[in-house]
Chains A and B, each alone.
Chain A
Amino acid sequence: MDTAPDTAVPRQTSPPPIPVDAPAPVSDRRPAASQPPHKTKIDVRSLNFFYGSFQALHDINIEIPEKRITALIGPSGCGKSTFLRTLNRINEMVRHARAEGSVALDGENVADLDVTNLRRRVGMVFQRPNPFPKSIFDNVAYGIRVNGLKGDGSLHDKVEHSLRRAALWDEVKDKLHQSAYSLSGGQQQRLCIARALAIDPEVLLLDEPCSALDPIATAKIEDLMFSLKKECTQVIVTHNMQQAARVAEFTGFFLMGRLIEFDRTAAIFKRPSRKETEDYITGRFG
């Protein structure tokens, strides 16, 4: 298990080393080349997103690295959730939502992919646990059944495998056919993760998954994210900077619909190149 990146203690003193008014050139936003090489899983170019006439995202350019954990931080309303939801096109459900620019998964524009297929490859965990009104077993099995994936191996084995990955198997193995609502909040959220993992997504999007959970449940989920690193690209939106510092190798800072800075987590927290980033990290706002 990888150790977490250097823990970030937000700096309390001294001004940033770079003048703030000039927007950082695009190349600054990509991680330094001297780091261990990684492929790009999701390549976003010039993404602008609109809800009707309101522009929620402005010219976002970002490369999400494969099989790493990327955190997106920023104050509420800054667009990080909106951005996350463009990656699996779930915000198409909103009326008058419009995207311009391109989001490419393994080189293919997601707008050209069949949306059902896209969502099989890019899974999502939501802010509040939202298990279906079904049994624990049926919740996990849902994605498998609806996509017709139960071909090889039995359904039961797949469900068990998922629940084990989510570190929930031991707690629920004797009550698989009870309602999902009989579980605690933290367990329900891990169930939702198991549900998302059951269809073997290549990417897992987590939208503030721990915001409704207590610290112990949060720790369990963070452990889970670590254990998934080798199998799955993860992007987590969080308003908890300590969490970002704990789990993510890369962090993007959003502010008012713009991606202000994107870099290795250590760099963001120790040597942010933008004043806005530093202000947020040191708690001057947000």
Chain B
Amino acid sequence: MRGGDEVAHLITLAFAASVFLVTIFLVWELWLHSGPSRHKFGFSFLTGTDWDPVQGIFGALPYIYGTVVTSVVAMMIAIPLGVGAAVFLAELAPPRLSNGCTFLVELLAAVPSVIYGLLAMYSLVPLLRSYGEPFLKATLGFLPFFQGPAFGVGYLAAGLILAIMTLPYIISISRESLLEVPRDQREAALALGATKWEATSQVVVPFARLGIFGSIFLALARALGETMAVTMVIGNDPGIHASLLAPGHTIAAVIANEFAEASGALYQSSLVEMGLVLFLITIIINALARLLVIATSRKGTAHA
């Protein structure tokens, strides 16, 4: 390599390597600063249910529970809505409508989290409190999920706003996966006398299923790590409740609320440790998502 090239190579390598190094450093720092609580509580940190800064007892379970519950609620709403909308945009809608709506959906992904939170607080929560939750209690109140007072804030509100926030990811990635399905798959189904919906649901969607699953995992990872909108509507209750109408808490929300004022190494360390837990969960989900999306693009088809 000639002189100029070698310099360019080294400089750019240095910058690229810094990305690598800073990420390693991040993991290292998280590990380091969570030391005190890791050593004090060990694995029981993950199963402990008490969060008492005064007494120095910290247990992450209510927050893990809340994180999981809100994300599950979000996925249960966002997956059918998102995949359905993606199917519509990719297969059934006329192209101009499809492109226009896709553009809008992609803009939704750019809306900051705090704005979603603002809206959720002042429009979604009152609606839930006055209409949504009473309705659910009246119709489904025999289930433990829909019992108890209707505050408006809580797992349900957080799950709903998370669903809205993750919809754009599911829609745009699923739509792309569907558009990549070769034309003659669709045509072969139609040529056998299938209706458009039958061809779409029985052939095209299965063909694109890897990409669609990938988008779902990606959306899930986002939902798990989402902070601001959830913090604003979760209700900040450090308990474990079966009812979706109850207020709760999530890992991201408790860190957001308490970190700035957390005093004492153990308190801070516990919060950092929860950040570490959240980080690990999202790594795993993200890795699964990448594998699925890469598998589609590499193979080009979804072989059974």
**Contact check: which of B94, B182, B192, B302 meets A146 at CB < 8 Å?**
B192
Structural contact, B304 and A116, CB atoms closer than 8 A: no
List the A residue with the shortest CB-CB distance to B195.
Answer: A116
Interface string of B180-193 (1 = CB under 8 A from A): 00101111111111
Number of A-B contacts (CB under 8 A): 79
CB-CB < 8 A to B195: which residues of A?
Answer: 116
Structural contact, A133 and B193, CB atoms closer than 8 A: no
Given contacts A116-B195, A146-B193, whether A132 and B187 have CB atoms under 8 Å apart is: no
Q: How far is the CA of A142 from the CA of B193 in the complex (A)?
A: 10
List the B residue with the shortest CB-CB distance to A116.
Answer: B193
Q: Does A271 contact B (CB under 8 A)?
A: no
Structural contact, A117 and B191, CB atoms closer than 8 A: no
Given contacts A146-B194, A192-B188, whether A133 and B202 have CB atoms under 8 Å apart is: no
- Interface size class on chain A is 20 to 34
Q: Does A123 contact B (CB under 8 A)?
A: yes
List the A residue with the shortest CB-CB distance to B95.
Answer: A95
Q: Does A181 contact B (CB under 8 A)?
A: yes
Interface string of B82-120 (1 = CB under 8 A from A): 000000000000110000000000000000000000000
Structural contact, B206 and A119, CB atoms closer than 8 A: no
Q: How far is the CA of A147 from the CA of B95 in the complex (A)?
A: 29
Q: Does B298 contact A (CB under 8 A)?
A: no
Structural contact, A181 and B192, CB atoms closer than 8 A: no
Given contacts A126-B188, A133-B206, whether A179 and B193 have CB atoms under 8 Å apart is: no
Interface string of B40-52 (1 = CB under 8 A from A): 0000000000000
Structural contact, A179 and B190, CB atoms closer than 8 A: no
Q: Does B203 contact A (CB under 8 A)?
A: yes
Q: How far is the CA of A165 from the CA of B108 in the complex (A)?
A: 54
Nearest Cβ on chain B to A69's Cβ, whole angstroms: 19
Q: Does A130 contact B (CB under 8 A)?
A: yes
List the B residue with the shortest CB-CB distance to A131.
Answer: B188
List the B residue with the shortest CB-CB distance to A192.
Answer: B188
CB-CB < 8 A to A181: which residues of B?
Answer: 301, 303-304
CB-CB < 8 A to A179: which residues of B?
Answer: 303-304
Structural contact, B301 and A199, CB atoms closer than 8 A: no
**Contact check: which of B185, B192, B206, B207 meets A143 at CB < 8 Å?**
B192
Q: Does A134 contact B (CB under 8 A)?
A: yes
Given contacts A130-B185, A133-B206, A134-B304, whether A146 and B191 have CB atoms under 8 Å apart is: no
Q: Does B258 contact A (CB under 8 A)?
A: no
**Contact check: which of B185, B191, B301 meets A124 at CB < 8 Å?**
B191
Structural contact, B304 and A128, CB atoms closer than 8 A: no
Structural contact, B192 and A90, CB atoms closer than 8 A: no
Interface string of A174-189 (1 = CB under 8 A from B): 0000011100000000
Q: How far is the CA of A179 from the CA of B198 in the complex (A)?
A: 20
Interface string of B276-304 (1 = CB under 8 A from A): 00000000000000000000000001111
CB-CB < 8 A to B198: which residues of A?
Answer: 146
Structural contact, A199 and B191, CB atoms closer than 8 A: no
**Contact check: which of B95, B188, B193 meets A132 at CB < 8 Å?**
B188
Which of A116, A133, A134, A135: most chain B Cβ within 10 A? A133
Q: Does A88 contact B (CB under 8 A)?
A: yes
Q: Does A80 contact B (CB under 8 A)?
A: no
Q: How far is the CA of A179 from the CA of B299 in the complex (A)?
A: 15
CB-CB < 8 A to A116: which residues of B?
Answer: 193-195
User: A116-B194, A124-B191, A133-B207 provided; 10 other pairs, C-beta below 8 A?
Assistant: A90-B191, A93-B187, A95-B95, A126-B184, A126-B188, A126-B191, A132-B185, A133-B206, A142-B189, A181-B301
